Amino acid sequence: MIFRVYVNFKDGILDPEAEAIKQTIANMGLNSVKNLVKGKFFDIEVEDKKNYLSEIEKISKDLLANPIIENFKIVKK
């Protein structure tokens, strides 16, 4: 079973890289883009044990995302 953990900056935290990408899109002459958010994801394959979900949550909270600046979301693939 594979879970995908998405991690991205919380609203209100400036992400200059996303800003730069947005600017580049504008420079490419494409003008329909209103907003752009950048993030990353981790695919985690787990064995079907009873506590896997809480483990993935712990991994996300304690390691993959920094709760001060980042949100995470777990999705089953």
Q: Does 37 bind other proteins (CB under 8 A)?
A: no
Q: Which of 59, 48, 67 is nearest to 5 (CA)?
A: 59
Q: Does 20 bind other proteins (CB under 8 A)?
A: yes
- Type and span of the H or E element at 27: helix 16-27
Q: Does 68 bind other proteins (CB under 8 A)?
A: yes
Structure tokens at 59: 């991994």
Binding segment (CB under 8 A) for other proteins, from list 27-35, 48-56, 58-66: 58-66
- Type and span of the H or E element at 70: strand 70-76
Which residues form the interface with other proteins (CB under 8 A)?
Answer: 13-14, 16-17, 20, 63-64, 66, 68-69
